[in-house]
Structure 1
Amino acid sequence: MADRKTDTSPLMEKIPSDLLAPEQVARWHHAGERSTYRFLRNPLDLKELNKQKRCFAVWSDNGTLTYVVPRNSYDLAENYHLSLHYDDGPTLYIFGLLQDAVARTAEFFLGLEKKKRADSEFSIEGRGTSALNFRALSSMCFTQLFTAAPKRSIRLENIRLSIQQATILASRPHPISLRLEYCEFEDGGVAFIETLENRKTSFGSLFLDESVPFDDENLKRFLQIDTIEFLSLPHLKNKIAFLPFSTKAGHLRYQIVPSLLLNAASLNLVTEKLDLTIEETEDEEIESFPKDPVLSFLRRLAEFNHLVEFKIRFDFLDCDSKIPKSVVKELIRVVNTHPNMKVLDLSIYDDDLEWDRHVQTLFDGIKNHKGLRTVILNVDEAAFGPRHQYDYSYLQELLTNNRYIEVMNDNRERYWGDETIRKLYRLNHFYRGSLSLSTDPSPERQVYVAKALLGSALKSFQRSALLLSDHADILFELLQLAPQDELSEQEGTSPSPAIQRRKRKRETAHGGSVKTGSGAHS
């Protein structure tokens, strides 16, 4: 019998069309009806499926039909109940009338995966009006998914998870990235929450898209878990809409409709990193900027002082008005009442309201913040100067007043502007490096300062002055180490008699001669 790892016998055979039952006929979205095959042996791994030159469909004895789309191929099944997506192929669409059979077939293909790159992506998507019951799938399949790629991102959509499966997902020994969309837990999420409560290390990132798989009481319990680094939540109904702000997760991404913000006085903010989108929904369309609710929210936010990162977006598709100046001023107050804030993110997406007209007000309001390091904006660079003339004067003033701030776009790329801005960034970088070095007790500090004085600061008065101001003690040490006779000669003065005697003694010891006055001595 051939070694399974090297088996080169035929993988599959075509089922004669006249023997196909209606449910065995492969119907592709683009290619139409095509042949159906059966495996003659188990595939070696997913790579063997990827090596096939075209899409194919395989019938299994349990009554399921699997459509296989290898890497670099494209099509999709006309009808299916579950799909498996590997970021580097293949994609599998499984059709079957029995949910348990569909889950078993998925388990078979999941078992074909071998070691992959650690940060790969994978998704399982159920198709239908209700969540696909995945109970028949062995919980060990989820263990295998992370064994093959420990840091991979996993997305589950429209799946009903068993208690064992939920426990496996919540108990990985390393941080993971898990996205649940329209998913359900067999027990309402109790086992998932209890496992997370007992964790001692970080869970990683959890994205709950479109719906939350917990009832209100379990959601309150879930939000008290402090081992989630990043948590993303969708809109929540009125009476629990403020609960997410009290999460102990390190970073919260949340969406909320503006009308709920009028009651922001009861909001309790715990998280240190907040990413908030204020947006309209089908039930609440926005025609003009909801100034009062937004101001109410920002004023409540200004009563706290512990935010480290803050991102806010206004996503109003049909809103004709702009962001009011009063909202910008209240936002500035929020930034300044949070002294440890390092990142202010005002980046926008397609239809978000823009910040261009408020750049000067914003920069002037935050320029003295001691902790702020990064401001993220998506604006036309003409917004950095008056009358949109690309003179960058607003940006120049900000960078001159605060040498720690960097202004970036949403790709985390600096706005470099003109040569003046580039020089400012370089000077500020030098300034921060010099200041951080002044607190460095390492013995190499003297060497670094000397190299800087003779290198990047040699022809710059500003940089030399910064170094000498920050490192006066090092300058004193360098002067102490320098030979006094060399310093005298460099200054153009005659060495003292004592220095002349020391110099003659040194050079005589080395067989040399020294000239003094008009005479010579050997």
Structure 2
Amino acid sequence: MPRGIITNKTPLQKRGNVVLQQHTLSLASAPSLELIAMSSNNQSFDKSVFEEIPESSCLPVARWRRYEGATKTYVLLRDPSDLEDLRKLGQRAAIWRNNQTLTYVSWGLRDIPRDGLNFLHCGFDDDDVRLYIVGSTHDAMAQTAAFFLSLVRSTSNFSCLLIANDTNSSPIDLSAAQSQCFLDVFEAIPSLHLRFENIYLSAAQSIALAMRPHPVTITIIDSILADGGTAFVNALQDRKSSFGSLTLQRMERQFTSEC
């Protein structure tokens, strides 16, 4: 459970393929928030994909660090077609999934979930969609990240994907995200710069990234590779073609190689 969150839940109702649960939520020692006069959402989203959860349902509320206004929360009635469906939610929104994760969705903003929440950050370029996944377990957050990464298409039009733990705590374990999700992203956008920060990658994930058949650009910062990176290094040595660009950085030390 993320630090500072107290939550109770009871079954509410089922909508489409989504089971909603009633929640009450409070944050301990919440900081004062800076008010920002900014519209939360536009109304062009696809209502066959998203259904807004009524405020009266008392589901977890997205609480931003710098914004005190209302943020609409949605459930998915079906899988979105691509990232464009998320962009249409507007500047601020949230998506609740049955694995008990609440994903904060922002577009073109420099705001994050409020203090006390541990989250996994998936950012698609600096000025594009940013996802902040709040969950009670690393597995749940990783699975939700993999779900949203599956929405990347060749037409998604971004050049850098950041997967990070921005909360300065121990690395978030991505092992529950199947390795294929990273390969599918590279398949859609071969020129992508994939950047990990404060993340734990399994040996299987490391091998999959190292054995990508075409040149890639990967940056790994303040992260942990299972088995000390042995599987990753061995897979690199077994390659028959150029890897591309690999940057490994730990605190003030950095190693970059074109290999």
Shorter-chain TM-score above 0.5? yes
Q: Report whether the alignment pairs 1:20 with 2:58.
A: yes
In 2, the alpha carbon distance for the partners of 1:43 and 1:28 equals 24
What amino acid sits opposite 1:167 in the alignment?
A: I
Match of 1:34 among 65, 71, 84: 71
Q: Which residue of 2 aligns with 1:86?
A: 124
Greater RCO (Cα-Cα under 8 Å, separation 6 or more) = 2
Q: Report whether the alignment pairs 1:195 with 2:235.
A: yes
Report if aligned partners of 1:55, 1:75 keep a CA contact under 8 Å in 2. no
Deviations 1:48-81 (A, max 9, x none): 11123331011111100000113x4553222341
Q: What value does the CA root-mean-square deviation take over the aligned residues?
A: 2.5
Report if aligned partners of 2:246, 2:258 keep a CA contact under 8 Å in 1. no
Q: Report whether the alignment pairs 1:156 with 2:175.
A: no
What amino acid sits opposite 1:198 in the alignment?
A: D
Report if aligned partners of 1:86, 1:122 keep a CA contact under 8 Å in 2. yes
Report if aligned partners of 1:119, 1:151 keep a CA contact under 8 Å in 2. no
Gaps of 5+ in 2: 1-44
What amino acid sits opposite 1:94 in the alignment?
A: I
In 1, the alpha carbon distance for the partners of 2:54 and 2:158 equals 42
Matched residues, number:
210
TM-aligned CA deviation for residue 110 of structure 1:
0.6
Q: Report whether the alignment pairs 1:166 with 2:202.
A: no
Partner of 1:151, secondary structure, is coil
More strand by share: 2
Structure 1 runs (4+) greater than 3 angstroms displaced: 7-10, 72-75, 116-119
Partner of 2:214, secondary structure, is coil
Q: Which residue of 1 aligns with 2:5?
A: none
Q: Which residue of 1 aligns with 2:3?
A: none
Q: Report whether the alignment pairs 1:77 with 2:77.
A: no
TM-aligned CA deviation for residue 85 of structure 1:
0.6
More helix by share: 1
Report if aligned partners of 1:80, 1:93 keep a CA contact under 8 Å in 2. no
Partner of 2:240, secondary structure, is coil
Match of 1:109 among 126, 142, 148: 148
Report if aligned partners of 1:82, 1:125 keep a CA contact under 8 Å in 2. yes
Report if aligned partners of 1:12, 1:40 keep a CA contact under 8 Å in 2. yes
What amino acid sits opposite 1:10 in the alignment?
A: S
Q: Which residue of 2 aligns with 1:475?
A: none
Match of 1:178 among 196, 218, 221: 218
TM-aligned CA deviation for residue 207 of structure 1:
1.1
Report if aligned partners of 1:166, 1:185 keep a CA contact under 8 Å in 2. yes
Q: Which residue of 2 aligns with 1:131?
A: 171
Gaps of 5+ in 1: 1-6, 212-232, 236-243, 252-522
What amino acid sits opposite 2:112 in the alignment?
A: L
Partner of 2:227, secondary structure, is coil
Q: Which residue of 1 aligns with 2:245?
A: 205
TM-aligned CA deviation for residue 90 of structure 1:
1.1
Report if aligned partners of 1:161, 1:185 keep a CA contact under 8 Å in 2. yes
What amino acid sits opposite 1:11 in the alignment?
A: V
Deviations 1:200-249 (A, max 9, x none): 211111111225xxxxxxxxxxxxxxxxxxxxx817xxxxxxxx8xx9x5
TM-aligned CA deviation for residue 148 of structure 1:
1.2
| TM-score normalised by length of structure 1 | 0.38
Deviations 1:263-298 (A, max 9, x none): xxxxxxxxxxxxxxxxxxxxxxxxxxxxxxxxxxxx
Deviations 1:384-442 (A, max 9, x none): xxxxxxxxxxxxxxxxxxxxxxxxxxxxxxxxxxxxxxxxxxxxxxxxxxxxxxxxxxx
Q: Report whether the alignment pairs 1:51 with 2:88.
A: yes
Identity of aligned residues (%): 38
| TM-score normalised by length of structure 2 | 0.73
Partner of 1:102, secondary structure, is helix
Rg larger for = 1
